[in-house]
Amino acid sequence: MFQVRQGDLLLTKIDTKKGKAVKQTVENGRLVLLRGEQTGHAHTVEADKATLKSWEDILMLEVKEDTELTHDEHNPIPLDPGVYEVRTQRRFNYDDLPSPQRQAMFD
C-alpha cells in the first residue's frame, strides 16, 4: 500500500476506477484538495493533471499524469498516475476529554 502524508492530508493509492466527479475548487490552475484551518494555505495538484471523484462517501483523487502535491508549508511530493483515497487527519488530544472519560480509556 502506497501512502503519502502532507500535514493533515493523507493520500492512499487504491485500485479502483469507480466514482463520479465532484465539485472541483480550482485556484490559479491548481486543484484544491484541502485548505488549512489555521493558515488558509491549500494542499493542491495541477488541475489539468487530476480530478476529484467520490464513491460511497470516499473522496478520491484521480491523477492522470505525473504531478506534485504542493503546500506552502511543506515540501512538494511527487504523485504517479493512479487513484488515491483522500483523508483528513486530525490530532487527538486526550486532555480535551472530561476527566472520567480520559481515566476510563487507561483503566
Contacts of 58 (CB under 8 A, 6+ apart): 19, 85
pLDDT tens per residue across span 11-47:
999 987 777 878 788 889 999 998 877 777 899 999 9
Query: What global pTM score does this model have?
Result: 0.76
The C-alpha angle 39, 89, 5, rounded to 5 degrees, equals 85
Whether 80 contacts 6, CB under 8 Å = no
pLDDT tens per residue across span 62-103:
999 999 999 988 899 999 999 999 998 766 665 666 666 555
Residue 98, classed as helix, strand or coil, is coil
What is the model's pLDDT at position 36? 74
Whether 9 contacts 31, CB under 8 Å = no
